[in-house]
Amino acid sequence: MEKLFSPFRIKNIELKNRIVMPGLASFLITNDGGITELAIEHYRRRASGGPAIVIMEACAVSPEGVVSVHQARIDHDRYIAGLAQIARVMEAEGTLPAVQLHHGGRQTSAKVIQRKPLAPSPIPCPTIRGEVEPLTVDGIEELVQKFGDAADRARQAGFELIEIHGAHGYLVNQFLSRVSNIREDAYGGDIAGRTRFAREIVAELRRRLGPDFPIAFKISAQEFVPKGLTVEESIEILKILAAAGVDAVQVSAGNDLTPEWISQPMFMPKACLAPAAAEIRKALNIPVMAVGRINDPFVAEEIIANGMADLVCIGRGLLADPDMPNKAREGRFDEIRTCIACNTCMQSIFRKGRIECLVNPMLGREKEMAFHPARKTKKVMVVGGGPGGLNVAWVAARRGHDVHVYEQRPELGGQLVPGSAPGHKRELRTLIRFQEKQIEQFGVKCHLNHRVTVADIEAVNPDVVVLATGSLPLMPKVAGIDKEIVITYDDVLNDNAPPWKRTVVIGGGPTGCELALHLAEYGCAVTLVEMLPKIGRDLEAMTKKVLLQKLREHRVQIMTETRLTAVEDNGVMVVDRDNQKLFIEAEKVVIAIGTRPDKRLFDQIKSLGYEIHQIGDCLEPRTAKAAIYDSAVLGRSI
C-alpha cells in the first residue's frame, strides 16, 4: 500500500494519502435542506476512517436546483451553521473537509420544486419527463452568481475544497452535452460554447475564493449515449476549465439515461472507469481522481502505482466500511467489510427515502447501533451459520456473551455460499470472509457439520437460542414435480459447469433471473418461464437493467405470463398468455419460485421454555439485508 498511502498536494493543501470519499447523497437531511445530527455523525464516521478528503454530498445552490426535499442546501446563509458542523467534525478527525456545489437543472420534478425545472434547451429529462423552462442569458448569469454565493458560504462554513458537480445529467452536464444542449447562442454549439456556463462558474469561484483555494470539477467523461460526451471531447472541455481555474478533476460517467455507469452494479468490473481517468491524466496537467467500483484497497493501490490517477474515490466502499483506509494502512485486510455493489444504498434512497447498506446495518444509524457491553453474560446458541446467524453471533460475542454457532454444512456462509457462485456475485464471498474474521476475533465457537436436534439444545442448555435455520425451496403443486429432471437452485449454484444444456428455469424473480444467466454463461440453452407480465421484480433498477441486457446477450428465451402445468421426463408443459398449451423440451427443470421458512426446529422447541429468537428466512422469506439488519439489532439487545 506504499503508493495509496503516500502524501499528495492540491494547491497548497497537503493530503495524507490518495483516498477521497466522493459526494454521495445520504438522505439524512431535513425536508428543507438542513443538517441533522445523523448527518453530522455519518460524516464524522467516514472522516474518522482515514481518507484524505471527504466531499460532502451535493448541496443545491438555488431552490429550484434541488432534486429531492432531502437534498442538502447552500443557497441561503441560514444553512452555514449546519454545514459548519460537518466541516468541523471532518477536520477534527484529520480529514480535509470538502463540499460539492450542485444544480439539478431539468433532472428534477415540478412536484419537488413547485415550478418548471430549468434546462439549457426545451428538452425534458427523458426519465422524469414534464415541461422545462429553457434558461435565458440573464438566468444563466444569475445562476453563475448563485454558484459564487454558495462558494462563499462553503468557505465560511470551513470547507477547504469545493467541487463543482458537472456530471450525471445535472444542469452543468446538461450544458456540456449535445444530448441536452441544442442552444444556438454563445452557450451552445461547439465545445467552447457548451463549456461556457461551466467556465463562467469556475471563473466566478476563482474570483471570489482567490488564487490559492482548491477547486475541483466532476465530469461525466463518457455518457454512453448517442451524441453523448466521450473521453476525447471531455479532454477538450477540461483543458478549457483548467485554464479557467480548475485544480483537480473527478472522472465519472453516465447520465440520467445511463445510471448504471453512475453507480455501477456488481456485473461491472472493478475500476471500470479508471482507463478514462488515465487518458485524461495524460492530457492534463492537473490532478485526476478516478472513481467507479473501487471497493478494494489493492485495486486502488494498482491505479495509483500504474499512474492511472493521482487520487482514488471510494464512495460506496466507505459506506460499507468507513474504517477501510485505516484497516488497509494497517494491513488488516480480512477485517474490511467490502462493498459488494448490490446498490442497496441507491435502492433504499428511492424506495424508503433513507440510505441503507446490505453489509453494514450501521449506515445512517451510527449512534443508534453503537456497541455497549452486555449487562449480564449469557450463553447464546445460534443455529445456522448463514449471514444472519453469523452476524448475531459476533455482535453478541463482541458485547461479552458466550456464543456458539452450529452449522449443518461443512462451511459457514449459508446461502451466501451457493449465492456467490455466479460470476457477477463472487464478491459475496468477501462478506463471508468478513463475518468469519469477526467470528474469530470475538471468540465465537463454531460447530460445523452439526445438524442441531432438540437433544442438542437440551444438552447445551443455553440462556438464549437464536434460530437462523433459513428456508426451503417452494415447489409448485403440479404433476411430475418429483421427477428426476427437477432440481433447485442449490443444485445449480456451484463452481462446476453443468453437465446438461437445455434448461427451463421456472420463476423470473431475482433468483430465477440470476440462475438463468449463470447457466447461460456456461453455455446452456435457457428458457425462463414467469407467471407475471415482467421478470426481475424487486431487483434494484440499475442491477435489473444490466441483468436483463446480459440475458438478451446470452439469448435466454423469456416467456412471461406463462404458467407451469406439468413436468414430463424430457421437459415441461406450460400455458402461455394466450391460453395455449406448449411443451418445452429440457434436460433439467430448475425451480426458483421462492422459498418457505424452515420452522421445523422451532416447532419442536417452542414449548420447552427457552428464550427463542428467529431471524432471517426461518422467520419469513427475506433478503440478506433484512437478515443482517435484524440480526444486528438482536445481537445488540441480548
Given a cut of 90, whether residue 353 has pLDDT beyond it is no
pLDDT for the residue numbered 30: 95
Backbone angles phi, psi at 552, to 5 degrees: -65, -45
Q: Which stretches of 353-402 are DSSP H helices?
A: 387-398
| pLDDT, mean of residues 470-487 | 95
Confidence label for 316 from pLDDT (cuts 50, 70 and 90)? very high
Cβ density class 384-416: b for 16+ within 10 Å, e for less: bbbbbbbbbbbbbbbbbbbbbbbbbeeebbbbb
pLDDT at position 418, please? 86
Active site residues: 170
Q: What does the pLDDT look like over 245-284, one tens digit per residue?
A: 999 999 999 999 999 999 999 989 999 999 999 999 999 9
The whole-number average pLDDT for the span 562-587 is 96
- Class for the domain spanning 486-593: alpha beta
413: left (phi over 0), alpha (psi -120 to 50) or beta: left
* DSSP character string of 276-303: HHHHHHHH-SS-EEE-SS---HHHHHHH
The band of 422, judged by pLDDT with boundaries at 50, 70 and 90, is confident
Q: How many CB atoms lie within 10 A of CB 293?
A: 24
- Residue 618 has a pLDDT of 82
Query: Looking at the domain that runs over 379-473+597-637, which CATH code has it been given?
Result: 3.40.50.720
Indicate whether 489 pLDDT > 90: no
pLDDT on residue 424: 79
DSSP 7: -
Provide CATH 3.20.20.70 ranges for the chain.
8-352
pLDDT grade, residue 160 (50/70/90)? Answer: very high
Cα 299 from Cα 3, distance rounded (Å): 12
Contact (Cβ atoms closer than 8 angstroms) between residue 232 and residue 209: no
| Cell numbers found for residue 293 | 467500483
Give every CB contact of residue 210 below 8 A, 6+ residues apart in sequence.
none
Mean pLDDT in residue range 366-372: 93
One-character DSSP codes across 167-224? -TTSHHHHHH-TTT----STTSSSHHHHHHHHHHHHHHHHHHH-SSS-EEEEEES---
Backbone angles phi, psi at 539, to 5 degrees: -70, 145
What is the average pLDDT score of the chain?
Answer: 95
Report in angstroms the alpha-carbon separations of 521 from 517, 551, 556. 6, 9, 10
Q: What is the DSSP code string of 398-457?
A: HTT-EEEEE-SSSSS-TTHHHHT-SGGGTTHHHHHHHHHHHHHHTT-EEE-S----HHHH
CA distance 383 to 407: 6
Grid cell digits, residue 366: 451510527
Q: Mind listing the pLDDT tens digit for each residue in 591-627?
A: 999 989 999 999 999 999 999 999 988 877 678 888 9
Winning range, highest mean pLDDT, from 54-68, 414-428, 489-503: 54-68
Q: Is the distance from CB of 450 to CB of 407 less than 8 angstroms? A: yes
Alpha-carbon gap, residue 9 to 186, rounded angstroms: 36
- Taking residues 427-451, report their average pLDDT: 95
Which DSSP category does 79 fall into? Answer: G
pLDDT of residue 621: 66
When mean pLDDT is compared across 159-163, 463-467, 593-597, the lowest value belongs to 593-597
Q: Residue 52: is its pLDDT beyond 80? A: yes
Secondary element (H or E) of residue 491: helix 489-492
How far from 31 is each of 36, 44, 70, 112, 630, CA to CA, in Å? 10, 21, 5, 11, 28
- The backbone region for 594, taken as left when phi is positive above 0, alpha when psi lies in -120 to 50, beta otherwise, is left
* pLDDT value at 494 more than 80: no
Q: How far apart are CA 115 and CA 105, in angstroms?
A: 12
Q: Which residues pair with 101 in a beta bridge?
A: 59, 164
User: CATH top-level class for 8-352?
Assistant: alpha beta
Residues of the chain with CATH 3.50.50.60: 486-593
All CATH 3.40.50.720 domain ranges of the chain, comma separated, are 379-473+597-637
* Confidence at residue 329, expressed as pLDDT on a 0 to 100 scale: 98
Of residues 224, 220, 209, the one with CA closest to residue 251: 220
* 277-281 long-range Cβ contacts below 8 angstroms, 24+ apart: 277/221, 277/251, 277/303, 277/308, 277/309, 278/306, 278/307, 278/308, 278/309, 279/231, 279/235, 280/221, 280/231, 280/234, 280/235, 280/238, 280/249, 280/251, 281/307, 281/308, 281/309, 281/310
pLDDT in tens, 400-412: 999 999 999 999 9
